[in-house]
Amino acid sequence: MEIEHRSPTISEYKKLRSSVGWWPTDEKAIEVALDKSLFSVVATEKNNTVGIGRIVGDGGLYYYIQDLIVHPELQKNGIGKQLMEELMSFIKSNAKPGSFIGLMSAKGMSKYYESYGFKARDADGPGMFKVIK
């Protein structure tokens, strides 16, 4: 397996999102989002994209780990760990003291992210989201 520091293509991104059951998105929106990422990593195996991860934010105070996706058939093989280590290395090299590093964990993945120092928000300060349909 190879880890590359690059943005996934629109096709790679769509295929991986679909593989994990995430909702479909507009291609133009994907193009803009990928272009505006602060940092991206792609895992490939035998010329197939098997995982991706991105960091988005303002590059100063706020960094968000976004779209950490590993194809379901290859999960539990250390690919996500390698991607996450690359993402955390970028943050360590770029985030200054006082920077906020956030993410939204998929169900059942909280312990995984806790191993990287993340903690759940207090119950009286829950995160929220909205998807435009």
36-87 pLDDT per residue, tens: 999 999 999 999 999 999 999 999 999 999 999 999 999 999 999 999 999 9
| pLDDT bracket for residue 34 (50, 70, 90) | very high
Q: Are 83 and 77 in contact (CB under 8 A)?
A: no
Residues in the chain, total: 133
More confident residue, 127 or 98: 98
Q: Is the pTM of this model over 0.85?
A: yes
Q: Is the per-residue pLDDT at 129 higher than 90?
A: no
Arithmetic mean of pLDDT over the chain: 93
Are 55 and 35 spatial neighbours (Cβ–Cβ below 8 Å)?
no
**Which residues fall within 8 angstroms of residue 56, CB to CB, at 6 or more apart?**
33, 36, 37, 38, 63, 64, 66
Bridge partners (DSSP) of residue 63 are 57, 101
Out of 3.40.50.2300, 3.40.630.30, 3.40.190.10, 3.30.450.20, select the CATH number for domain 2-114: 3.40.630.30
